[in-house]
Amino acid sequence: MKKSPSIHLIIWPCIAGAFLSQTDSQLGGIIIAFGVGAILYGIYVHFHNKRISSRRSEFLKTVNKWR
């Protein structure tokens, strides 16, 4: 399983939010919320794409059988 390059876009806001929450709690909380939202969205997209690709491969197998 290869890691997508977008994982860094999720990790760094969380780290920045953790540091900022010590100084400015509201801004840090907002950044952490964005990070968590990005993680959940990434997980959803990952599983959704996996489901679509498996369906597509099954469809292509049946099409190749008909040919």
Secondary structure of residue 5 in the 3-state scheme: coil
Residue 42, domain member (yes or no): yes
Kindly tell me if the per-residue pLDDT of 66 is higher than 70.
yes
Residue 1, domain member (yes or no): no
DSSP 16: H
Smallest CA-to-CA distance from 9 within 31, 24, 30 is with: 31
Residue 2, domain member (yes or no): no
Domain of residue 14, residue span: 7-66
pLDDT digits (tens, 9 = 90+) for 3-60: 555 666 667 766 776 676 666 666 667 777 777 878 888 778 777 777 767 777 777 7
Residue 61, domain member (yes or no): yes
The tally of CA atoms less than 13 A away on the side-chain side of residue 50 is: 8
38 and 30 Cβ atoms separated by less than 8 Å: no
> For the chain, how many structural domains are there in total?
1
Residue 43, both tokens:
């997980």
